[in-house]
Structure 1
Amino acid sequence: MSTIDVEQTRKTWRRDAQERRDRIVAAAQDEFAARGVDASLEKIARDAGVAIGTLYRHFPTRLDLLLAAFAPRLREFADGADQARRIDDPWEAFASYLENLFRVQAGDRGFNDFLSRRFPGNAEIERIHDRICEQIEDVLGRAQDAGVVRPDLTMADIVTLIWSNGRVIDATSTAAPTAWRRHLHLMLDAYRAPRAHPIPEPPMTEQQLYDAMVDLHAAD
């Protein structure tokens, strides 16, 4: 076989491998969106027209596949987050950031799971979660410093809202797919500083919050 033939064969292999990978990611996006992050990998492989071993050769773990499947959602979220954080008004920046977060959450059950949990088995997913938390703390801190958001609101309270909003999305996605916006804005109204009254229960600590998010993943 000539050098030209060998190189052409290699290009064909690479192209075929890329096509198989693309089919796996597309099937994973559909299945995770419909059934959440615990969707069957075997069904994803079947839908992609590949053997389960081929799926694992491209994505050794479920978390590797999650990252590839959620890449477009993460870009969509990041673009909206950047726009919200550039808003000068602290309240509008805070409210817009959360609305963007929940809008992307509402469009994909798997991404809903992704936001609600912690995945300590993957350093890149942990980094993404840490970055989202930093952004929330930034817009929340700005609003609190401006005196427009109650001073006792914490990251744990926002994550609790993500959890509750996830259940609202699950319950209403077919009958009333935008009902989550009413729930969000009712809660935003409760977050305004003039609405603040003493709360008898302290917020979760950072460690309690992290453990709860890991336990949520482990329990499913």
Structure 2
Amino acid sequence: MEAAREVFAARGVDAPMSAVARRAGVGVATLYRRFPTRSSLVAAAFDDQLSVCAAAFDEALADPDPGHGLYTLLRKVCTTLVTDRGFETVFMAGFPASLDYDRERACAEERLTHLVRRARDAGRLREDFSPADIPLLLLAVSGLASQPPETAVPAAHRLLTYLFQSFQAVPPPRPAPLPPAPALDLSGLHRPAEHP
């Protein structure tokens, strides 16, 4: 399992099964005997992360300050999104062949909705803030996944902090200055297609 997690983190869930087998020190046939489909391997590899996500939700919901709980949860998710390409794919797009994943995702969405409502009801979030705004934030942050972790993590935290400040019902009077923005490698960006 560790080999699959490492390969998926570095290369995403579309990495060749041969790369997972090589990392595990087994043949491809051995890997397929244990996991007959890519879906079964991905589901097994990310089962632990689903448990970690559930624990992060528990911590956020237990925080007496629902705004702080939501921010802490989002910070953990953003960190994982930019450091684990496999998690980013599974988290953002899902992996439909895994029924457990669908159930876990539905549960996470319910818990996130509850957490957002608590923070909004406590006056920590703007009245027009909705749980549907969270995927927008996560999509923005996931764009940093192509950067090396030493750049991506501080950039993700900086972006999250700026966005979260804009979500607040009453912004802090004078937010503490953020660390300087890390230098991003923009050489891999493509120009958008021109539309007629």
Task: Indicate the SS of the match to 2:138.
Answer: helix
Read off the aligned partner of 2:5 and give its amino acid letter.
Q
Offset of residue 121 of structure 1: 2.1
- Shift of the alpha carbon at 1:158? 0.6
Q: Is the 8 Å Cα contact of residues 136 and 155 (structure 1) preserved in structure 2?
A: yes
Bigger fraction of residues in helix:
1
| Alpha-carbon separation, structure 2, partners of 1:76 and 1:123 | 18
Partner residue of 1:116? 92
**1:66, distance to aligned residue in structure 2 (A):** 1.4
User: Could you say which residue in structure 2 is the equivalent of 1:52?
Assistant: 28
Task: Report if the CA contact (8 A) 1:169-1:180 is conserved.
Answer: no
TM-score, normalised to structure 1, is 0.70
* Residue of structure 1 equivalent to 2:83: 107
Contact preservation (8 Å) 2:3, 2:24: yes
Residue 40 of structure 2 corresponds to residue 64 of structure 1: yes
Amino acid at match of 2:135: V
**Superposed CA offset, 1:77-109 (max 9, x none):** 332321121011121122122122223333322
The 1:28/1:75 distance shift into structure 2, 3 A limit, reads same
Stretches of structure 2 that go unaligned for 5 or more consecutive residues are: 172-196
Q: Tell whether the 8 Å contact from 1:172 to 1:179 is kept in structure 2 after alignment.
A: no
For each residue in 1:184-211, what CA deviation from the matched residue of structure 2 results, as whole angstroms up to 9, or x when unmatched?
011101111247xxxxxxxxxxxxxxxx
Provide the secondary structure at the position in 1 that maps to 2:124: coil
2:13 alignment partner AA:
V
C-alpha deviation, 1:146, in angstroms:
1.9
Task: State how far apart, in whole Å, the 1-side matches of 2:115 and 2:7 are.
Answer: 33
- Summarize the alignment of residues 38-187 of structure 1 with structure 2, pairs less than 5 Å apart: 38-175=14-151, 177-187=153-163
CA RMSD of aligned residues (A): 1.9
Q: Secondary structure at the match of 1:177?
A: helix
Native 8 Å contact 1:115 1:162 kept in 2: no
Q: TM-score, normalised by structure 2?
A: 0.78
Structure 2 distance, partners of 1:194, 1:88, is 18
Determine which structure has more spread, i.e. the larger CA radius of gyration.
1
Q: Which runs of 4+ in 1 moved over 6 A?
A: none
Question: Structure 1 stretches of 5 or more lacking a match?
Answer: 1-24, 196-220
Q: Distance in 2 between matches of 1:42 and 1:177?
A: 29
Q: Share of identical aligned residues, percent? A: 34
